[in-house]
Amino acid sequence: NAGVTQTPKFQVLKTGQSMTLQCAQDMNHNSMYWYRQDPGMGLRLIYYSASEGTTDKGEVPNGYNVSRLNKREFSLRLESAAPSQTSVYFCASSERGDNRDFSSGANVLTFGAGSRLTVL
Amino acid sequence: GIQVEQSPPDLILQEGANSTLRCNFSDSVNNLQWFHQNPWGQLINLFYIPSGTKQNGRLSATTVATERYSLLYISSSQTTDSGVYFCAVALYTGTASKLTFGTGTRLQVTL
C-alpha cells in the first residue's frame, strides 16, 4: 500500500519555466490537497479538491493551477515559475473533507513525501 | 481566517523526559489534527482530536474546544521523537475541511 505518491522529489527550474507536480493516492480517498511549506512556517493550502470533478482555491493559489485528473490523481502546475515559488510541496488526501461525523476520522490527512522545488 | 499559535517554538529534552506542547486557536473548530514531521521531512498524522482525550502509546492529546486549545503530551521521550510537531485546525464549511497549520514546535531529544 503506497499511500500518497508524489513526483518528482526534487526539481530545479529557471524563472519563467513551467512544470507539473504529480500526485496519486491508492486509498480510494475522495479529497486531495496541495500544500507548500516554507522555512520557519507551517504548511499553507494552495488548492484542494473536495471530490472528483471539483477544485477550489486555498490560502495561496496565485501562480498555480490544478487538475483533478480522476479520483486517484491531483496535479499542481506552475505555468511561469518565480523564485517566490521555491518551496517544499506536499500533496495530501483524506477519505472525505466534509465529514460531519467528527468521531470517525474520515477527515484525517495522509501526506506524500514532499517535492522540493528550487526556482533560480 | 483562523489563527493557530503553538508553543513553545523550540524544545530540547534529554531522553526519558516528558513534555507538553500547546496549540491555541482563535475561533471555533470541528477538525483538529496533530502531525509529526520527522527530520527527513515526512509528515505523519498523530491524532485526529476535535475534542476530548486520546492516547497512543507514549503520546496523548487533549482538546478543550470551548476554551480553544489542545495539548500534546509526550512521555518518556526518545530520540526518534525529534522533529517538528504541527497542530492544524479547520471549521467545516460545507465543502471541505481546509486545515490551517500552526508554525510548529521543533523538538530535539538528546541522549
Q: Looking at the partner chain, which of A99, A108, A114 has a beta carbon nearest the beta carbon of B45?
A: A108
| Whole-number pLDDT of residue A100 | 61
B interface mutation test: which of A34, A41, A45 has the most B CBs within 10 A? Answer: A45
| Whole-number pLDDT of residue B45 | 95
User: Residue holding cell 480522476?
Assistant: A70
Residues 6+ apart with CB under 8 A from A111: A4, A90, A91, A92, B35, B42, B43, B44, B45
Give me the tens of pLDDT residue by residue for chain B, a chain 111 residues long: 889 999 999 999 999 999 999 999 999 888 899 999 999 999 999 999 999 999 999 999 999 999 999 999 999 999 999 999 999 998 876 666 688 999 999 999 999
Residue B35's Cβ-count burial label (10 Å; 0-12, 13-18, 19+) is buried
A116, closest residue in chain B (CA to CA): B41
Say if A48 is an interface residue toward chain B (CB within 8 Å). yes
| Whole-number pLDDT of residue A117 | 97
| Whole-number pLDDT of residue A97 | 62
CA distance A43 to chain B (A): 6
| Whole-number pLDDT of residue A104 | 62
Say if A105 is an interface residue toward chain B (CB within 8 Å). yes
Q: What is the pLDDT of residues A32-56, one digit of tens each?
A: 999 999 987 889 999 999 889 899 9
CA distance B78 to chain A (A): 23
Interface A-B, measured as beta-carbon pairs within 8 A, has a size of 75
Q: C-alpha cell of B12? A: 530540547
User: d(Cα B89, Cα B108) in Å, to the nearest integer?
Assistant: 24
| Whole-number pLDDT of residue A107 | 80
Whether B44 sits inside 8 A of A111 (CB atoms) is yes
Q: What is the pLDDT of residues A74-118, one digit of tens each?
A: 999 999 999 999 999 999 999 876 656 655 667 889 999 999 999
Whether A45 sits inside 8 A of B99 (CB atoms) is yes
